């Protein structure tokens, strides 16, 4: 039954009353790859994940996970997937070991198998020293690692991570990235949503940018960066009003209240833009030229700043 893509969604639509949350979303995720969904608040990322993981029905469209249809073969789909949501799903009064063994038993492992699997995951996610302490004493990073461990009890071939590192400090985020890379090396297919553009750049083989319920761009990080120009000219101003005037004159994006960022293709265009702002008396304090980032992609495609993502 395992054919085609690990995750395939066609024509997904979802509305709540008069509000269209998803409009014709199409996704294809190759096996053993990391696919990232980026988008601003309310773009439809979490709704998409909930539909893909059988927690929500789409109004129309189809989804298959490893060849199984989410509507017609729901139980088979659930046997293929694991999910780590935005909110922690652990019992804070129990220890990590107790949480893991309890969930393993709910997945119908016998007592001995549940103990063995819990111990494997405790070691894999570096929780040995705290395994017998109540989860309420854990740091945010430890809780997220435990969340991820729980989603892997049945060793699912497809894993959904909905903003797995939100709120973590840089060290904990790096540890989560290492855990995700290990899962990828083991052949797991991963779809993640993230509010960190650097995270998508670091981890994802392909990225889809979703805005107002539609996929507005898809490709590798390099593909998406090339869509906004080969380089970015950034003009920094001391005054926001002057920056706004420059933005109206030459276009681009106000990536910061006082910074105008414009896609450029070669020295001739750079000279032209600089001459335009100089002729208008809008000389910047600082001029820089850089390769485009996913931040630039996000701004250009959605009209939002990266910090607005959810």
Q: Is 40 left (phi over 0), alpha (psi -120 to 50) or beta?
A: beta
Q: How open is the CA angle 82-214-201, to the nearest 5 degrees?
A: 60
Which pLDDT tens digit goes with each residue over 89-113? 788 999 999 999 999 999 899 999 9
Residue 40: predicted pLDDT? 80
Which pLDDT tens digit goes with each residue over 21-45? 999 999 999 999 999 998 887 889 9
What homologous superfamily is domain 7-224 in, according to CATH? P-loop containing nucleotide triphosphate hydrolases (3.40.50.300)
pTM of the model: 0.76
Q: Is 138 left (phi over 0), alpha (psi -120 to 50) or beta?
A: beta
Q: Do domains 7-224 and 229-291 have the same CATH topology?
A: no
Question: Domains of the chain: which residue ranges?
Answer: 7-224, 229-291
DSSP string, 253-309: EEEETTEEEEEE-SHHHHHHHHHHHHHTT---SEEEEE---HHHHHHHHHS--GGGB
Tell me which fold the domain 229-291 belongs to: Alpha-Beta Plaits (3.30.70)
Q: pLDDT confidence of 310, banded at 50, 70, 90?
A: very low
Paired tokens of 83: 């999910």
């Amino acid at each position: 039954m395992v054919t085609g893509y690990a995750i395939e969604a066609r024509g997904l639509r979802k509305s709540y009353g008069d509000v269209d949350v998803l409009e014709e979303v199409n996704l294809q995720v190759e096996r053993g790859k990391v696919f990232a969904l980026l988008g601003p608040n309310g773009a439809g990322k979490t709704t998409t994940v909930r539909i893909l993981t059988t927690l929500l029905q789409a109004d129309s469209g189809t989804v298959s996970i490893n060849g199984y249809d989410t509507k017609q073969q729901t139980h088979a789909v659930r046997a293929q997937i694991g999910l780590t949501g935005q909110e922690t799903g652990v019992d804070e009064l129990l220890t990590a070991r107790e949480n893991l063994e309890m969930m393993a038993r709910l997945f119908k492992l016998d007592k001995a198998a549940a103990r063995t699997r819990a111990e494997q995951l405790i070691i894999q996610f570096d929780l040995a020293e705290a395994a017998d302490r109540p989860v309420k004493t854990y740091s945010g990073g430890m809780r997220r690692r435990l969340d991820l461990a729980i989603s892997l009890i049945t060793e699912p071939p497809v894993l959904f991570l909905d903003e797995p590192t939100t709120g973590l400090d840089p060290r904990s985020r790096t540890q989560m990235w290492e855990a995700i890379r290990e899962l990828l090396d083991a052949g797991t297919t991963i779809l993640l949503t993230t509010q960190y553009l650097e995270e998508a750049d670091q981890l994802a083989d392909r990225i889809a940018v979703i805005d107002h319920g539609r996929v507005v761009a898809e490709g590798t990080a390099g593909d998406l960066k090339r869509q906004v120009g080969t380089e970015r000219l950034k003009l920094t101003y001391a005054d926001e009003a002057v920056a706004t005037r420059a933005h109206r004159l030459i276009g681009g994006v106000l990536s910061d209240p006082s910074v105008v960022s414009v896609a450029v293709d070669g020295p001739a265009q750079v000279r032209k833009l600089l001459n335009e702002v100089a002729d208008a008396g809008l000389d910047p304090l600082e001029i820089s030229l850089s390769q485009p980032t996913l931040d630039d992609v996000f701004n250009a495609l959605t009209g939002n700043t990266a910090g607005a993502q959810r």
